[in-house]
Structure 1
């Protein structure tokens, strides 16, 4: 059951990526409640069979200082996020990202982080790292397809401290323990990646990192480019 859900979650249904990821983590020894949760997810997918990704081709209005993107231009963008200490069993967090192009999601991820973050800044910083890696790969893919973009891809994060940490190489007591690999994103700044802070209510990655109320869930689906066909 979870395997079938996982196929959909990875290819056509980003709205179930978070739930499927959590179910996959307990698939070896599921409890009665977890089995019922899997059944509810199957019923949800069946009831929303008309929902899917839509690539409308409309341009994405990404703020570039005082000017927006030129009319008709489509640019890759990415939203990253994490829910701090959301896995109570081991103190880890759920990280996620979604990359958008042409009005819809082209790549996304919802996964428990392997390391325990000591603050929301640290967990968001790790999520930023994974999102930036995906952006670099997608930019190179688009370049090979002959539709590369000249300017950096905007990566949005709603944690101001994480963005400041990426932009400022100075270490201090609260961040000096962070592994060097997570600082890789700094090498990409203003070359392949441009970091921007996004307001929480516009955070498209929330649907991949936490359980949301119904209204917020549907809003997250819309932000990811999903609609009823």
Structure 2
């Protein structure tokens, strides 16, 4: 990979992987068995978890096929590695905004080609940089965009409660005693989260996802509207073009050191 031409995105727009891309012949399987797919994914996973939220979505897509990867899956892994090589001088930089925790949540409805499940994504920022992030496939099939967004927000709200408790015990962020803003770009999901009881249209949603209502009611979180183009969790749910991708990277603190100086 050292001599590879560096990429500008960790995954291209329009790239969709599925089990259809898995090897179909003994020759293909033998060839892919010689590819260090799992070790490459593991190395990227370590990097992503520690300091590189910008590859979370691409890695989440590629990691689903570790048991039986195909050529198309391997191309995505190589694209991530090329991107990391090109951006090796980028860092998470803190100190450019106030010391307040803020969360963003988003979902991409029915975007998994294999089972039509949605992708959830979130990112929390503090003092100008990301401090917690995740891109993951939802456990259940949502039947609408609103439901997918509501499920995503519910999972993020639980993470917000944990972060609030952890940061509060550190005693270094006075504003943590205030409700944590959770920014969502779906009006329907926001309305459901603020609703004290279930209506007919949401009764089929698993009970555990309604915990967000209790979390909001007791003042741990306040869910607010954000424009879709300003939602920093967007790149955790889908592949974006370079302009939007770079914009959101900047918003979560991923910058070149020279940009900060």
1:171-207 Cα shifts (integer Å, max 9, x gaps):
3332111111101011111511011000011100001
1:42-81 Cα shifts (integer Å, max 9, x gaps):
011001101121102422xxxxxxxxxxxxxx21110001
Partner of 2:136: 111
Partner of 2:153: 128
Q: How does 1:67-216 map to 2 (within 5 A)?
A: 74-148=99-173, 149-189=176-216, 191-216=219-244
TM-score by length of structure 1 reads: 0.91
Partner of 2:253: 225
Q: What displacement does 1:105 show?
A: 0.3
Query: Is 1:24 paired with 2:63?
Result: yes
1:130-176 Cα shifts (integer Å, max 9, x gaps):
11111111111111111252210000000010000011134333211
Q: What displacement does 1:224 show?
A: 1.4
Stretches of structure 2 lacking an aligned partner (at least 5 in a row)? 1-39
CA distance in 2, matches of 1:85, 1:201: 20
- SS of 1:87's equivalent in the other structure is coil
- SS of 2:122's equivalent in the other structure is strand
Q: Which moved more, 1:130-139 or 1:154-163?
A: 130-139
CA distance in 2, matches of 1:37, 1:167: 39
Partner of 1:63: none
CA distance in 2, matches of 1:136, 1:83: 24
Contact 2:168 2:177 in 1 (8 A): no
Partner of 1:69: none
TM-score by length of structure 2 reads: 0.80
User: How many residues align structurally?
Assistant: 215
Stretches of structure 1 lacking an aligned partner (at least 5 in a row)? 60-73
- SS of 2:110's equivalent in the other structure is strand
Query: Is 1:44 paired with 2:83?
Result: yes
Which stretches of structure 1, 4 residues or more, deviate above 4 A after TM superposition?
A: none
Select the structure that is richer in helix: 2
Select the structure that is richer in strand: 1
CA distance in 2, matches of 1:123, 1:51: 32
Partner of 1:70: none
- SS of 2:109's equivalent in the other structure is strand
